[in-house]
A = this chain, B = another copy of it.
């Protein structure tokens, strides 16, 4: 997605060889117009799949997920990283390690919102080692539902998550795929492809 790659080049800050900061439009400040375009792109990619529900994780996955949900005409569930007093029902639980926050999170989804007949699209902001995505897959499976695909805003293709998920048979659609962050520069997998063409 060209507009996203350009935004990352213009506004992304490379903190280290492994960490890209996109706080100006995705992870802290949100650009609603870009989020709408991202949501539309996810909807376009998965519109033929009969998606009945989107599952994401708080907080940065919510914006892209709601715009995709609006366009696909389905509801969005965000997994919680912390238990709320009002989240008291039968819970689907999984454990996710966050490298960015250096902590283990128990993520939870109330079982009443995912049924066995659901065809679920998982959406998240980043895909690195795939911890969050695998946690969400585990939750969807515990509900007896089907994971139809995984939509990612920014994939760090130099980490193992995308490949592992594809090896497990999942369709992964990442709107920007980062090949490397070395020397403080963002290089996209897509750049390479374009050069070859």
Chain A residues engaging chain B, CB cutoff 8 angstroms: 15, 19, 21, 23-25, 27-33, 35-36, 58-59, 62-63, 65-67, 69-70, 73-78, 80, 82, 84-88, 100-102, 109-110, 113
Contact = CB atoms under 8 A, between A and B. Distances in A.
B100 A28 contact: no
| 9 A-B pairs closest in CB distance | A58-B59, A32-B70, A32-B69, A30-B76, A21-B86, A59-B59, A29-B113, A32-B66, A62-B62
Contacts of A63: 62-63, 66
Nearest to A20: B86
Given A35-B66, A62-B63, A28 B85 contact: no
Number of copies: 2
A28 B62 contact: no
A102 to B, nearest CB: 7
Interface centre among A15, A77, A86 (most CB of B within 10 A): A86
Given A28-B77, A35-B66, A85 B59 contact: no
Contact of A110 (B23, B33, B62): B23
A109 B75 CA distance: 29
Contacts of A21: 86
B110 A28 contact: yes
Nearest to A85: B100
Nearest to A58: B59
B30 A59 contact: no
A101 B76 contact: no
